[in-house]
């Protein structure tokens, strides 16, 4: 009969190792499975005790979870005594069967780069115990170890037990048919959960992210082990944070309205982060949204003023430098905090190049630039609008109206702001972008269009053409007895062109 020793790390795979031990104990017998060294008494030699236990075994199962290799490296770096290393070395030295057992989503590359003393482990055929098929996978592992056949003397008891079990099943079927059995209740709960899942998906499709979040919360209350609902609740939390807003009524404070829901979002995002391996795209997405939610908690709810916002976004970039959320969110955060403008532009450039989540990226880019006092903001807005026109990206009426203000002649030729807007891209693109923004019918003879056209001629160095156009505008203004700042600006531009 096989005797098996189970090696594992408590901080990595204790639950899996315990579950495997219980299953193998049922199949091989209690005296055939050894797992812990917790019973070592004070004064006993640690290494000798492990050697004695492994010396009685035919096989050692090395349970490896997603944190196994990181724990090993940390212990070796800190020169800590590592009982797992000693267990594996002892088993390899005895030339007995040593099987790497992958659990919790761990991959074979977890044992691809081991220290020399453990290198042989990477050449041993690994087995995987998957959560959905844990029992079946464990059965196959036990069979490969040589699980014993049932003795013939037990067959009578097995038959009696089987007959009793069949009678129980028949009784349950009758109760279920009558609508009072546990299966009937289970089916009802399953149907209710399925209905809630469909409701949450519909709410998400209608951009009702808070409602979807609450529906997934209800599903998890009914079934806390529902992994799909847990994952989708994290997705809805991220979407909710992207589109978060708080309606503050009379005699209410923004922090009282926004604080509680933001706290809910943070709680779910942190739980979702804990279910990742901490260094993949999913972890980067969640970290970026954690940073963004912390920023909302500071900006809207006035709940915090630390480094959590920037820290979350930059940690996401450490994991995935091209992460679209982290780049767009950090770019917007830098603009709103009046920090490094060029750094913000670089992050937006990366976010745009990914081609992902483009409407969200543009909203953060345009919103951040419109709130910025940096002298380069006007030019960057023109560049962004020009890109959107060329790519045929949608633009909301809100941003269309805000961008058109940069072309208002009253913003002034004297301070150069209109010229900054128009000269950011080649004149042909600048004119086409202006027309794309000013797309209302009947605007062909609009005064603003005439001024923009004349100003572009001046920017292109066509002094005579620009002067002619401005004088024509001056005559038109006088004919209509139009007085005001626009006339003053046209007069100023004619004077400047005439003095060149």
For the segment 315-332, what is each residue's pLDDT rounded down to a tens digit? 999 999 999 999 999 999
Q: What is the three-state SS of 425-455? A: CCHHHHHHHHHHHCCCCCCCCCHHHHHHHHH
pLDDT tens series, the chain, 500 aa:
578 898 888 888 888 888 888 888 888 888 888 876 544 555 556 667 777 778 888 899 999 988 888 888 887 777 666 788 888 888 888 888 899 999 888 877 667 667 777 878 877 888 889 888 888 888 888 888 876 544 444 445 555 666 666 776 666 566 565 565 555 566 777 888 889 999 999 999 999 999 999 999 999 998 888 888 999 999 999 999 999 988 888 888 888 898 899 999 999 999 999 999 888 999 999 999 999 999 999 988 887 777 889 999 999 999 999 999 999 999 999 999 999 999 999 999 999 999 999 999 999 999 999 999 898 999 999 999 999 999 999 999 999 999 999 888 766 555 678 888 999 999 999 999 999 999 876 655 577 888 888 889 988 989 889 888 888 888 888 887 776 677 777 777 777 776 65
- Here the contacts of 152-155 (C-beta below 8 Å, separation 24 or greater) are none
Instruction: Please name the helix (run of DSSP H) or strand (run of DSSP E) that holds residue 411, with its range, or none.
Output: none
What is d(CA 156, CA 493) in angstroms, rounded to the nearest whole number? 108
pLDDT digits (tens, 9 = 90+) for 254-310: 888 988 999 999 999 999 999 998 889 999 999 999 999 999 999 888 877 778 899
Whole-model pTM over 0.75: no
Task: Check if the beta carbon of residue 132 is closer than 8 Å to that of residue 92.
Answer: no
Instruction: Give the C-alpha separation, 128 to 69, whole Å.
Output: 16
Task: Give the Cα-Cα-Cα angle 80, 278, 118 (nearest 5 degrees).
Answer: 40
Diameter over CA atoms, the chain: 117
Q: What length is written for the chain?
A: 500
Say if residues 381 and 403 touch (Cβ distance below 8 Å).
yes
Cβ pair 197, 226 in contact under 8 A: no
Q: What are phi and psi of 61, to 5 degrees?
A: -100, 120
């Amino acid at each position: 009969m096989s005797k098996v020793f189970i090696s594992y790390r408590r901080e990595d795979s204790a639950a899996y190792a315990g579950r495997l031990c219980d299953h193998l104990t049922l199949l091989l017998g209690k005296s055939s499975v050894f797992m812990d060294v917790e019973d070592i008494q004070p004064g006993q030699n640690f290494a000798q005790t492990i050697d004695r236990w492994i010396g009685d075994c035919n096989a050692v199962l090395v349970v490896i979870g997603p944190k196994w290799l990181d724990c090993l490296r940390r212990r070796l770096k800190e020169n800590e005594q590592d009982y797992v290393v000693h267990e594996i070395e002892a088993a390899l030295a005895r030339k007995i069967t040593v099987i790497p057992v992958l659990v919790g989503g761990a991959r074979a590359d977890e044992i691809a780069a081991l220290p020399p003393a453990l290198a042989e482990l990477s050449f041993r055929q690994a087995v995987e115990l998957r959560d959905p098929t844990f029992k079946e996978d464990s059965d196959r592992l036990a069979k490969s170890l040589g699980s014993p056949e049932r003795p013939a003397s037990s067959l009578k008891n097995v038959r009696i037990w089987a007959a009793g079990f069949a009678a129980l099943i028949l009784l349950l079927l009758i109760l279920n048919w009558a609508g009072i059995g546990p299966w009937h209740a289970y089916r009802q709960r399953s149907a209710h959960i399925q209905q809630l899942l469909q409701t949450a998906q519909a709410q998400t499709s209608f951009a009702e992210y808070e409602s979807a979040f609450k529906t997934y919360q209800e599903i998890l209350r009914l079934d806390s082990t529902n992994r799909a609902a847990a994952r989708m609740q994290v997705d809805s939390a991220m979407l909710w944070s992207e589109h978060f807003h708080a309606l503050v009524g009379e005699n209410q404070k923004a922090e009282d309205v926004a604080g509680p829901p933001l706290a809910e979002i943070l709680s779910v995002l942190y739980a979702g982060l804990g279910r990742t391996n901490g260094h993949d795209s999913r972890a980067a997405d969640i970290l970026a949204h954690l940073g963004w939610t912390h920023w909302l908690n500071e900006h809207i709810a006035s709940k915090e003023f630390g480094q959590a916002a920037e820290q979350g976004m930059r940690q996401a970039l450490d994991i995935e430098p091209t992460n679209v959320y982290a780049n767009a969110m950090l770019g917007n955060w830098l603009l709103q905090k009046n920090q490094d403008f060029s750094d913000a532009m670089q992050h937006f450039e990366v976010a745009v190049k990914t081609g992902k989540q483009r409407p969200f990226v543009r909203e953060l880019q345009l919103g951040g630039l419109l709130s910025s006092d940096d002298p380069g903001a006007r030019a960057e807005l023109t560049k962004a609008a020009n890109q959107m026109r060329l790519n045929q990206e949608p633009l909301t009426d809100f941003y269309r109206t805000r961008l058109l203000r940069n072309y208002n002649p009253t913003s002034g030729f004297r301070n150069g702001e209109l010229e900054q807007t128009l000269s950011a891209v080649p004149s042909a693109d600048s004119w086409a972008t202006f027309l794309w923004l000013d797309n209302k019918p009947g605007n062909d003879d609009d005064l603003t269009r005439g001024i923009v056209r004349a100003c572009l001629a001046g920017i292109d160095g066509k002094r005579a053409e620009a002067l002619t156009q401005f004088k024509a505008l001056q005559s038109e203004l006088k004919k209509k007895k139009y007085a005001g700042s626009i006339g003053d600006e046209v007069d100023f531009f004619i004077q400047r062109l005439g003095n060149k």
